[in-house]
Amino acid sequence: MEDTGTVVAFWIFAAITVGAAIGVAAVRNLIHSVALLIVTFAGLAGLYITLSADFIAVVQVLIYIGAIAILIIFAIVLTPRAGRHNQESFMLLPALALAALVAGTMIFVAFDTNWGAQRSEGFEGTATAIGDLLLDRYALPFEIASVLLLSAIVGAILLVRPEGPEEEAE
Amino acid sequence: MPILLRGEWYDLRDLANPVRELIDGLGLVSEVDYVLWSLIASLAILTWLVLSVLAFIWIERRVVARMQNRKGPNRVGPAGLLQPVADALKLLLKEAITTRGADRLLFWLGPVIIFIPTIVVFAVVPFGESMVLADLNVGVLFMIAVAGIMTPAVFLAGWSSNNKYAMLAAMRTIAMLISYEIIQVLALLAAVIFIGSMNLQTIVSWQDEYNTWLIFIMPLALVAYLVAGAVEINRSPMDISEAESELAAGYHTEYGGIKFGFFYQAEYLAGFAIAASATTLFFGGWTLWGLEEWIPGWLIFLGKLYAVFFVYIWSRGTLPRLRIDQLMTFAWKFMLPLMILNVLLVAAEVVIWEETGASRNVALPAIGAVNAALAAVLVIGWARFLGHGSGRGRGYSATLTREVGKIYYTGAEAS
Amino acid sequence: MTIKSEPFVVNVGPQHPSTHGVFRLRLTLDGEKIIDADMVMGYLHRSMEKLAEERTYTQNIPFTDRTDYVASMTGNLAYVMAVEKLMGIEVPERAQFLRTIMAELQRIASHSMALGIFANDCGAWQTPVMHMFRDREKILDLFEMACGARLTLNYMRIGGVSRDIPDEWIPQAQKLMEDLPKRFAEYEDLLLHNEIIVARARGVGVLTPEQAMAHSVSGPMLRGSGVAWDVRKADPYAAYDKIDFDIAVGTNGDVYDRFVVRLAEMRQSLHIIEQALEVMPGGPVHERLGTATVQPGGQSIAPLAFRPPVGEAYARIESPRGELGYYIVSDGGPSPFRFHIRAPSFINLTPLKLMAIGATVADAIVILGSVDFVVGEVDR
């Protein structure tokens, strides 16, 4: 991260990401919150690019903006009593505790890791390397994640299936 | 084959090189040079896009009019050529109306957000040998990812309008876009596996080097991609999201004036983006079996792009619309299994080709023939399996009778 | 556990591209599924039945153009038949045949439009409509030749028709009769056997014969439900008893059957017109009304005012939309005491709720298109 361009880009994206993330928690309107969440995701994708992780950046956009955000939108719109507002919640304290835990872990990792200076000579295709690693060295975790997702899908379908043998879901 | 065309600034075979030459000649710092070059290239792409959209508004209206025994716009300018300009002016001058109870910020942002991805996609499109703004290694993925931004934008536009039609249509659109995004990704995945690169420029030169187009190797993937593309740009038979006869104008019902113009234009741009990626991936991009030595590559590219886009105009002029549940069934029960099979098939072929080490003159025709045959078998077989007839079988004519008062109802179809 | 969603009320109309006029449909939705449908009518109410009581019998003929403005020929016919019945007038043979021919031409024109707009409702953006209008235009040209008007024809007169057809009319009509079968084959090919239309229309909006009869549905909707009922056969009027034709019926009572019934009826109409053109006799086209009822100055073949005897009459015909009936009560004055229209568009809409519940919004639009109603006739 030596050249000026990357540094400038980093700070811009960092500001966008953090600012939008604060907004997500602060705004009252849930849909606005989701819109800001999308901005956060986009900012994160930008940060990945400054790290020369082109594949991760694009996947971030594809999965998070194109899918996760939509999932959240569906969850909000389809929940009958969500009230469409960022309400006070009894989950405030547990959520804070969880957030503190995550933040603590990340700070620990950040200080613990040896951030060896990476050279920055433009992009090198990372897709192939990631593919190789996923299907070779990390094949087992990859498969475990797949099985987990599959069971989640099956579970979700089972949960929303209309009861009674005759009724078929539209 | 690649001949570097640098050095001859008047060589129109590649429009980018003379510009690059000129900027290099200024002797600027490399950063400034880079920014200047990007700006000029972006501006060129934008200009082309705007002109193409204007031209195609006219072409579409004339072509569809021709299909419908009408004349189409023929009053403004010679042969109605200035009609799109007049339309654009009208949209610009119209009052900007915001619905009562609309979410003003998001209502205003909707058309802007939807407009961005449709333009940004063209950054990675290789118009010619060196005519690509950003030669990304993950170009294919970039195109899909950026097009995916449209999905939340559609929702924001529909939701912020505070209109039931818009909301209903937005939800439909999202459900549809997500379903067909998967088809799209799987279709392109097959192509990427076969070529072994996600760089669009590499994909084009691969097709040039192996003297073939991917359409001949994986026709099924192309068809799936174009169908998914029709969903993305709301063309019949997939124009559910703005089903005019059902939900007024769909998620942008409440938009008027230039905000509506943005949606309208974004739709065309998305169409061009689909056509551009189909051209690059399946039709050999800017190459034409050596003819690119004589004809400018960008002309070849544009010709192919417009030809692909014409298919969408054609379908709009001829096909009725599917119902939303039929469309979803088509995506999940018909296209998805076929696409997964297609990916597996292509992957297997790549491995077999590598293992046997067959020469390309043997391997490519063989793979193409196998894939075409399998595509036909799979499509017909799977359709039959799902209970669809041969297309003509399910239609029937009325019964003719003279016995007044007799009841012929059988209720075979009653569900 | 099931996911419950709140019912969602959507207004389709009164300004909506698919309501074919100012008609409103209030749909209560559960997701995409319709759980309730209410029709709101009356946006086009012009108080025709009351207005007609203030006008003479002849002056009322133009009103009948404007109820079902897509098929004004049949509207005219039903009304003049009711008045003729009231007055006991015999209509000359040639006029009877002309009425038959015109009514059948009107049926083709009206069904063309119905099918085109139905295809439009299925999402075939404008193309079928424009192609169907091509045929309709030719028929309207024929109307124009016969009576000078294209839409609100005002051709029928009490006692006959307003004037005889010109000499060049029959050749032009025969030429059209030669062209149309090709077009019909084209529509059958492109629409009837279109996979998407079939997918959209089969099994949608099913109306069983019992339900159809209970709601007093008539016309192609009733025949689509498989009931072979046609006023032209059941209670022949004009020259239909001298002509050979079939009733087209469906077997499933769905949207698709109404569609195929209309297509088959267009072919039958063609058949009727061909026969009628062949056997049509010469002679007068208008019966002079009895001098006793003609007012002074009654030089025209249709006198401005006359007084039918006290009584009542009901005449019914098979309009393109169904059984169109006119009920007229006379108190012996120059204008009807009571003027009532049995409007098939209105009555055919009554089972809409039955058909729409359980369907999706997209289906509702297609069902609405398959009813083929004209708001002018629904509201009158």
At A110, phi and psi to the nearest 5?
-60, -40
pLDDT computed for residue B7 by the predictor: 47
The alpha-carbon gap from A80 to the nearest alpha carbon of chain C, in Å, equals 6
Flag if B326 and C16 touch (Cβ within 8 Å). no
Total residues belonging to chain B: 415
Residues of B in contact with C252 (CB under 8 A): 409-414
**Residue B3 pLDDT class (50, 70, 90 cuts):** very low
Window 21-80 of A: residues touching B by CB (8 A cutoff) are: 29, 31-32, 34-35, 38, 54-55, 58-59, 61-62, 65-67, 69-70, 73-74, 77
Flag if B325 and A170 touch (Cβ within 8 Å). yes
Q: Does B404 touch chain C (CB under 8 A)?
A: yes
Flag if A70 and B144 touch (Cβ within 8 Å). no
Closest chain A CA to residue B198? A127
Q: Does A168 touch chain C (CB under 8 A)?
A: no
- Tokens representing C231 are 């006023």
The model's pLDDT over C85-95, given as tens digits with 9 standing for 90+, comes to 888 888 888 88
Residue among A34, A62, A126 whose CB faces B148 most closely: A62
Flag if A170 and C3 touch (Cβ within 8 Å). no
Please give the helix or strand (H or E) that residue B165 lies within, else none.
helix B164-195
The alpha-carbon gap from C139 to the nearest alpha carbon of chain B, in Å, equals 17
Q: Report percent pLDDT > 70 for chain B.
A: 88
Residue C351 and residue B312 in contact, taking contact as beta carbons nearer than 8 Å: no
Flag if B411 and C252 touch (Cβ within 8 Å). yes
Flag if A170 and B31 touch (Cβ within 8 Å). no
Other Cβ atoms closer than 10 A to B402: 12
Residue C112 and residue C291 in contact, taking contact as beta carbons nearer than 8 Å: no
pLDDT computed for residue C234 by the predictor: 84
Domain boundaries C58-373, corresponding CATH code? 1.10.645.10
CA distances from A46 to A4, A61, A115, B121 (A): 16, 9, 20, 16
Residues of C in contact with B408 (CB under 8 A): 226-228, 249-251
Flag if B68 and C192 touch (Cβ within 8 Å). no
User: β-pairing, C322-330 with C160-161?
Assistant: unpaired
Question: Which one-letter DSSP state was computed for residue A117?
Answer: P
DSSP output for B55-82: HHHHHHHHHHHHHTT---S-SSSGGGTT
The model's pLDDT over B355-386, given as tens digits with 9 standing for 90+, comes to 887 787 787 888 888 888 888 888 888 877 77
CA angle C293, C295, C299 (to 5 degrees): 110
Q: Would the pLDDT of B83 be above 70?
A: yes
pLDDT computed for residue B2 by the predictor: 39
User: β-pairing, C247-249 with B399-401?
Assistant: antiparallel
**Class of residue B379 by CB neighbours under 10 A (exposed 0-12, middle 13-18, buried 19+):** middle
Residues of C in contact with B69 (CB under 8 A): 130-131, 134
Q: Does B238 touch chain C (CB under 8 A)?
A: no
Q: Report percent pLDDT > 70 for chain C.
A: 91
Flag if A78 and C33 touch (Cβ within 8 Å). no
Which of B406-410, C66-70, C184-188 comes out lowest in average pLDDT? B406-410
Mean pLDDT (chain B, rounded): 80
Residue among C1, C5, C6 whose CB faces A159 most closely: C1
pLDDT computed for residue A146 by the predictor: 92
Nearest by Cα to A47 from A9, A4, A19:
A9
Q: Would the pLDDT of B414 be above 50?
A: no
Q: Would the pLDDT of C293 be above 60?
A: no
Total residues belonging to chain A: 170
Q: Report percent pLDDT > 90 for chain C.
A: 1
Flag if B137 and A69 touch (Cβ within 8 Å). no
Closest chain C CA to residue A77? C5
* Average pLDDT of the residues in C261-271: 89
Alpha-carbon torsion (A25, A30, A32, A37), positive or negative? positive
**Residue C187 pLDDT class (50, 70, 90 cuts):** confident
This complex has an ipTM of: 0.76
Distance CA(B207)–CA(B193), nearest Å, equals 14
**Class of residue B356 by CB neighbours under 10 A (exposed 0-12, middle 13-18, buried 19+):** exposed
**In which residue are the tokens 């008539």 written?**
C218
Residue C266 and residue C108 in contact, taking contact as beta carbons nearer than 8 Å: yes
Residue among B136, B138, B149 whose CB faces A65 most closely: B149
Which of A119-123, A140-144, C31-35, C209-213 comes out lowest in average pLDDT? A119-123
**In which residue are the tokens 């654009």 written?**
B88
DSSP output for C295-350: PTTTTSSS-S---PPSEEEEEEEEETTEEEEEEEEE-SSSS-SEEEEE-HHHHHHT
Flag if B159 and A31 touch (Cβ within 8 Å). yes
Q: From the candidates C24, C127, C136, C262, which should be mutated to test the interface with B, based on the most B CB atoms within 10 A?
A: C127
Per DSSP, the three-state class of C154 is coil
The model's pLDDT over B187-210, given as tens digits with 9 standing for 90+, comes to 888 888 888 888 888 888 888 888
CA distances from C143 to A123, B209, B340, C105, C134 (A): 75, 66, 59, 9, 15
Q: Does A110 touch chain C (CB under 8 A)?
A: no
* Average pLDDT of the residues in B156-165: 80
The model's pLDDT over B317-338, given as tens digits with 9 standing for 90+, comes to 888 887 777 888 888 888 888 8
Per DSSP, the three-state class of C28 is strand
Contacts of B among chains (3+ CB pairs under 8 A): A, C
Contacts of C among chains (3+ CB pairs under 8 A): A, B
Residue B371 and residue B224 in contact, taking contact as beta carbons nearer than 8 Å: no
Dihedral, B72, B74, B76, B82 alpha carbons, nearest 10: 70
Please give the interface size between A and C, counted as residue pairs whose CB atoms are below 8 Å apart: 14
The model's pLDDT over B92-118, given as tens digits with 9 standing for 90+, comes to 888 877 777 777 888 888 888 888 888
Distance CA(B414)–CA(C358), nearest Å, equals 13
Distance CA(C308)–CA(C310), nearest Å, equals 7
pLDDT computed for residue A145 by the predictor: 92
In angstroms, how far apart are the furthest CA atoms of chain C?
A: 82
The alpha-carbon gap from C331 to the nearest alpha carbon of chain B, in Å, equals 36
- Tokens representing B245 are 């006869």
List chain A residues with pLDDT less than 70: 1-2, 79-89, 115-125, 162-170
Flag if A62 and B141 touch (Cβ within 8 Å). yes
Residues of A in contact with B149 (CB under 8 A): 61, 65-66
Distance CA(B226)–CA(B311), nearest Å, equals 9
Residues of C in contact with A162 (CB under 8 A): 2
pLDDT computed for residue A17 by the predictor: 92
Domain residue extents for chain C: 58-373
**Residue C284 pLDDT class (50, 70, 90 cuts):** confident
Flag if B407 and C209 touch (Cβ within 8 Å). yes
Flag if A31 and B198 touch (Cβ within 8 Å). no
Q: From the candidates B314, B316, B396, which should be mutated to test the interface with C, based on the most C CB atoms within 10 A?
A: B396
Flag if B178 and A66 touch (Cβ within 8 Å). yes
Q: From the candidates B155, B168, B176, which should be mutated to test the interface with A, based on the most A CB atoms within 10 A?
A: B155
